[in-house]
Amino acid sequence: MNIVLLHGLANNEAVWSSLDGHWRPGVRIHAPRLPWHGGGIADWRHETDSAARLAQVLDEVPGGADLVVAHSFSSVVLLDLLSRRAAAGEEAGVPGVVLVNPFYRGDADDFHWDMIAPTLDDFPRTMAESIRLRNPDRPLAPDLVADMARRMTEWIGPYGWLRFFDAYLRTPLFRVDLVTTPALVIGGEADLSAPVAEARRLAGRLPAAQCLTVPGGHFPMLERPAWLTAAVHTFLDRIPGRARRLADA
């Protein structure tokens, strides 16, 4: 059983490390470093087709992916890829997906001018949340966390942020109604970055999706690792076909 974990914008594969030790026997974890990782922004920030880059990453998983778990920005990129394939009449390429704290709006009119500045201003807070949660045993001073978050935001820069916002703006155009891949959509009840209502809305649009909400914010893999892995295991038991057979092996 190959489970692929996709980190979000400006993070890296280490964001999933808290899940180690919670997986079932027989599960093989693949956590690739994606083009939009924290140290790779300079090479990716002018990218205009992140979905194609993600397809290449998934193609390189030995034996193929049986389940893809995507967080935050990567959930949008994965959704873009699945929607493209569905609209073209192609196979999805994965038996099941878990979309963790996705950004999604179902109607272009849901975006309005007054939301741009708050979304932009929220970036440093999201970066600070990640930094704080990744250092639970050695709490950093709030001023240091804020400075580190600001520096990360500056490193992402306007092009990196525009890559995120452009993907977000295109979510109403994704043909999610054609994506029949079994999906679990997870939203944080206290997520200030990707509101839980967006997870519920996306789950309602996907033909084969269920939605779970979790107490906490934008990084459930850091706040509630045991809960998250348990949710993934339960979802695996419900996936038909190849992933179910492998999960039961």
Per residue in 5-54, pLDDT (tens digit) is 999 999 999 999 999 999 999 999 999 999 999 888 989 999 889 999 99
Q: CA of 132: how far to CAs of 46, 125, 162, 189, 202, in Å?
A: 29, 10, 25, 19, 28
> Which residues of the chain have a pLDDT value below 50?
243-249
Return d(Cα 10, Cα 230) in angstroms, integer: 26
User: For residue range 83-102, what is the model confidence (pLDDT) as tens digits?
Assistant: 999 999 999 999 999 999 99
Q: What pLDDT score does 39 carry? A: 87
CB-neighbour burial class of residue 176 (10 A; exposed 0-12, middle 13-18, buried 19+): buried
236 sits in which H/E element: helix 225-236
User: Is residue 24 helix, strand or coil?
Assistant: coil
Convert 129-178 into a string of H (helix), E (strand) and C (coil): HHHHHCCCCCCCCHHHHHHHHHHHHHHHHHHHHHHHHHHHHCHHHCCHHH
Q: Among all chains, which residue has been given the structure tokens 């389940």?
A: 67
The answer for residues whose C-beta is within 8 angstroms of residue 180's C-beta and 6 or more apart is 86, 92, 207, 208
Q: What pLDDT score does 241 carry? A: 60
Q: Domain coordinates of the chain in residue numbers?
A: 2-248
Return d(Cα 177, Cα 87) in angstroms, integer: 10
Q: What pLDDT score does 239 carry? A: 85
CATH architecture of 2-248: 3-Layer(aba) Sandwich (3.40)
Return d(Cα 103, Cα 174) in angstroms, integer: 12
Picking from 21, 93, 27, the residue whose alpha carbon sits closest to that of residue 246 is: 27
Q: Among all chains, which residue has been given the structure tokens 């520096």?
A: 151
